Amino acid sequence: MHTTLASASRELVIGPDQPFCIIGERINPTGRKAFSEQLRGGDLSRIETDVAQQVAGGARVLDVNMGAPLADEAELMTRAVGLIQRLTDLPLCLDSSIIEVLEAGLAAYQGKALVNSVTAEDERLAAILPLVARHGAAVIGLPNDEEEIPEEPRRRAELARKIVEVADSHGIPAQDVLIDPLAMPVGADTSLVVRTLETIALVREELGVNMTLGASNVSFGMPQRHAIGAAFLPMAMAQGLTSAIMDARAPQVVRSVQAADLLLGNDPWGAGWIAAHRAGQAAQVVP
């Protein structure tokens, strides 16, 4: 199944036969005190560096989260979308738990955006899906409901199915729904990531939709985080993960994703792998 996202001038296809879709996570004030303060004061200047670094690192989509405490998140989202679309032609992933903020971002956005996210809660589905449908966007679905964030892969897959079905009833086709199989920190419990991998395999088998997750969650609270990310993502890709919201500025992680693309047959003739190698060599040559 293919999910197509677009900016004003460029289309991007996500799918099991495509190179892995790296969604850059950096434009997000969570855990970035200085950036958070700047956003509160309406200063978006830091975003320019974040965009440049992630584009250079290999991001194909950029996540945009303006969730700074005590800031006017909707206004920031409107301004950030305009700014980022002037800086890059990559499609954007509009990230907020507040519906008005998603609405503001979608109104400002040119192209077909990815909305992050909706859950399987009836209230959230009813509020967010019409918005996604009206703007012809795609959406990330998190398999938790009013009752629980299930640990069991079987239950997660059931809630994923519910999201896909309700989206369909709002006129959003399955290819425009990306399911998040829920990445959990391995440092908290070493059985949790296995559950995520099982969920990925189940969702691929039963729904066949594209999937994305917050890859950095997996290594939270552990040393050598990039090495853990570099091991996790190829495993998840082998199970059927087609995208991740991740640190595109970490060469160790990005290279392991590109190598996995090659090994899984999604980089014909190794052209992407070799081109990335040459680009790296060229960058080291002093002109």
Site for other proteins in 7-36 (CB under 8 A): 30
With binding defined as CB under 8 A, does residue 148 bind other proteins?
A: yes
Part in contact with other proteins (CB under 8 A); list of ranges 125-133, 163-171, 180-188, 195-203 = 180-188
| Beta carbons within 8 Å of 178's beta carbon, 6+ residues apart | 3, 14, 114, 138, 139, 140, 141, 209, 210, 211, 212, 242, 243
User: Which is nearest to 160 in space by CA: 190, 127, 198?
Assistant: 198
Which of helix, strand or coil describes residue 55? helix
Instruction: Report the C-alpha gap between 230 and 8 in whole angstroms.
Output: 32
Closer CB to other proteins, 187 or 272, in the complex: 187
| Order of strands, sheet of 114-119, starting from the edge strand that comes earlier in the sequence | 177-179, 138-142, 114-119, 92-95, 61-65, 21-27, 243-246
Q: Which of 220, 227, 235, 264 binds other proteins (CB under 8 A)?
A: 220
With binding defined as CB under 8 A, does residue 69 bind other proteins?
A: yes
With binding defined as CB under 8 A, does residue 222 bind other proteins?
A: yes
Instruction: Report the C-alpha gap between 163 and 178 in whole angstroms.
Output: 10
Q: Which of 8, 188, 274, 279 binds other proteins (CB under 8 A)?
A: 188
With binding defined as CB under 8 A, does residue 189 bind other proteins?
A: yes
Part in contact with other proteins (CB under 8 A); list of ranges 13-21, 100-108, 146-154, 196-204 = 146-154
With binding defined as CB under 8 A, does residue 187 bind other proteins?
A: yes
Part in contact with other proteins (CB under 8 A); list of ranges 48-56, 86-94, 105-113, 179-187 = 179-187
Q: How far apart are the first and last CA of the chain?
A: 44
Asked if 149 contacts 199 with a C-beta cutoff of 8 angstroms, the reply is no
With binding defined as CB under 8 A, does residue 45 bind other proteins?
A: no
Q: How many helices (H) and strands (E) would you count in the chain?
A: 10, 9
Part in contact with other proteins (CB under 8 A); list of ranges 79-87, 182-190, 248-256, 257-265 = 182-190
Q: Which residues bind other proteins (CB under 8 A)?
A: 30, 69-70, 97, 119, 121, 142, 144, 146-151, 182, 184-185, 187-189, 192, 217, 220-223
